[in-house]
Amino acid sequence: MDGILNLNKPAGRTSFSLVALVRKLSRERRVGHAGTLDSTASGVLPVCLGKATRIVEFLMDAGKTYRTRIKLGTATDTYDAAGKVIQQGDASGIDRRQVEATLEEFRGQITQTPPMYSALKHQGRRLYQLARQGVTVERPSRPATIYNIELEDFELPIVTLKVDCAKGTYIRSLAHDLGQRLGCSGHVGSLVRLSYGPFSLEDAVSLPQLEEAFADGSWQELIYPIDSVLADWPSLVVAEEQAEVIRHGGSLAADEISGVKGQGRCRAYNQQGGLVAILQYDEAGRRWQPEKVFA
C-alpha cells in the first residue's frame, strides 16, 4: 500500500513510536513521518507508507498551523512544560494589549535560536543528547516565517495563540522569546498541530480508530494517495510511449509536452490517471527530467 495516513498523535507519544506502530500493523517496511512533533505535543502527523516515503521531502515544505497555550512567568530549559525551571518572572502586570503589541514583532520573517532540546545536530550529535548530559553549545540563529499569529485567549498566566508558519519554525522558541520580550519569561504549556499542508486535525485518525481499522481490515480506506500533497503543482498527461521513456529514466523534450510551463516541477500521469513520476525542468537542455518515478 502506497499512500499517507493523517494521524492524530496523542501527547505523551513520540512521532517515531507511531511510525513503528504503523509499520507493525501494516507490515510495510517503508514507513516514515513528516514533521516531527515533540512527545508532549499532539495533533496532525502525516505518516507515509511505501512509495509515499519518497515525497516526504516535498511534504516538509508545506505550511503548518498550531495552537499553543503559553504559560507566562516561568522559563524552562526545554522551553516547554517538560523541562526544568531556569528562570522566573512576574507576569501579573501584563495585559492583553501589551501581548498583542508584542506579537506584531513575530509576524513575517524572523530569526530564532533553536532550543538545546531539539533534533538538530552539532558535530554529528543531536542537541538533545548533549543537553541531557548537561552540555550547552552555541546555536546559530535561523530564519523562520510566521504568516499569521493570533491571540485567541488571554487569561493570566496563560495566553493562547494560533500560529500559521512555514517549515523550520520552533513554537517552543516563539514561546520563550515572547516571554523574554514581555520581560516575564514564558514556556509552552501545551501544543497542538491543527493542520499540515492538506491534512487537518478534523480529519485526522486517532490511535484507537487506527487500530480498529487494522483489526477489521478497513485501514486502506484511511490512506490518502501519494499526490494529495502535490495538488498545487502543475500536472500533465503523457502518452504510453512517453510514460515508458520516463519509467526507464529518459527525459522528454519541452516541445513534446503541452499544458505546463517550462519551469520547476510537475506531476506526470498516464492515460489511466496513475501517477507516473515527478518531473523537473532542465532549462539548459529544455527537457523534463524524471526526478522520482513511481510506476
Q: 3-62+198-228 and 233-293: same fold? A: no
Q: Give the CATH architecture of domain 64-196.
A: 2-Layer Sandwich (3.30)
Binned at pLDDT 50, 70 and 90, residue 234 comes out as very high
Q: Are 188 and 172 in contact (CB under 8 A)?
A: yes
CATH 3.30.2350.10 given to domain 3-62+198-228: yes
> Residue 123 pLDDT > 80, yes or no?
no
Q: What's the pTM value of the predicted model, to 2 decimals? A: 0.92
Look at residue 1 and give its three-state secondary structure.
coil
Across 35-50, average pLDDT: 94
- What DSSP string runs through 153-212? EEETTEEEEEEEE-TT--HHHHHHHHHHHHTS-EEEEEEEEEEETTEEGGGPBPHHHHHH
Q: Are 31 and 77 in contact (CB under 8 A)?
A: no
Give 51's DSSP letter.
G
Q: Mark out the alpha helices in the chain (DSSP H runs).
A: 15-26, 56-59, 96-103, 127-132, 171-182, 207-216, 240-247
Q: Tell me the residue type at 160.
A: T
At residue 170, the pLDDT reads 92
Q: Which of 38, 80, 177, 227 is catalytic?
A: 38
Beta-carbon contacts of 60 under 8 Å, excluding residues fewer than 6 positions away, are: 34, 35, 167
Q: Tell me the residue type at 205.
A: V
The β-bridge partners of 148 are 164
What does residue 99 show for φ and ψ, rounded to 5 degrees?
-65, -45
Domain residue limits, the chain: 3-62+198-228, 64-196, 233-293
Q: For 233-293, give the CATH class.
A: mainly beta
38 catalytic? Reply is: yes
- Tens-place pLDDT, residues 181-194: 999 999 999 999 99
Torsion sign, CA atoms 147, 89, 81, 78: positive
Question: Using CA atoms, how far apart are residues 266 and 261, in angstroms rounded to an integer?
Answer: 9
At residue 274, the pLDDT reads 93
Binned at pLDDT 50, 70 and 90, residue 281 comes out as very high
Going by C-alpha positions, the residue among 231, 54, 227, 21 that lies closest to residue 34 is 54
Across 53-73, average pLDDT: 95
